[in-house]
Amino acid sequence: MTTFIALLRSINVGSTRKLPMADLRGLCGELGFAAVQTYIQSGNVVFNAEGSTDTHEAALEQGITRAFGMHVDVMVRTAAQWRQIVAGSPLRSEAEAEANRVLLGVSKRPPRTDAVTKLNERATLGERVVAAGEVLWFHYPGGVGRSKWTPALIDRVVGSPLTARNWRTVQQVAEMAGG
């Protein structure tokens, strides 16, 4: 069995799109996933299963639609991929100093080749984005809430839905996945 990490996009934000983690764990069990764990309410799931990341993304998206009546984009990586992503962070020193202001962005498909340039052209308040393989690392020195980089802008520039987690969450998920 392989350990996987699933990141759900835009759930439990404000008063909409509620998806209780206990219910999500139950759905994962129904899908045949083992040793299912969740971390905080924003949709971080670690589980063991056979199969591919694409298969598990599709199964979770379809299962969530069926069980909860809403579409949720899901990005799945193996624990081994996650360890490489964490080790390859080009913003490690910033993350160590400001863990809540450095975010890992994982998209459904690899970001467009010009995504970093286009996002950095729109940066305000000292923000910057750096590509590392098929993920993007964002630094928000002025805080995420003050940024002009909206989720819609990021998705449009990247070319597919993207979900982001701060450095603390990235580290906690890595620990849960055995790394």
Fold match between domain 2-79 and domain 82-176 = yes
pLDDT at 13: 60
Q: List the structure tokens of 170.
A: 């990235």
pTM score > 0.85 for this model?
A: yes
Q: Does the structural domain 82-176 have CATH classification 1.20.81?
A: no
**Per-domain residue ranges for the chain?**
2-79, 82-176
Q: Among residues 3, 9, 77, which one has the least CA distance to residue 37?
A: 3
pLDDT at 168: 96
Could you say which residues of the chain have pLDDT below 50?
Answer: none
pLDDT at 93: 96
* Residue 59, CA distances (Å) to 52, 88, 162 in order: 11, 29, 18
CB 31 within 8 A of CB 41: no
DSSP character string of 22-51: HHHHHHHHHTT-EEEEEETTTTEEEEEESS
Q: What is the CATH architecture assignment of 2-79?
A: 2-Layer Sandwich (3.30)
pLDDT at 123: 94
- Residues 41-82: pLDDT tens digits? 888 999 999 999 999 999 999 999 999 999 999 999 999 999
SS3 (DSSP) at 96? helix
Residue for token pair 């100093």: 97
Burial of 17 (0-12, 13-18, 19+ CB in 10 A): middle
pLDDT at 18: 83
* Residue 176 CA from chain centroid, whole number: 15
Distance CA 55, CA 132 (A): 24
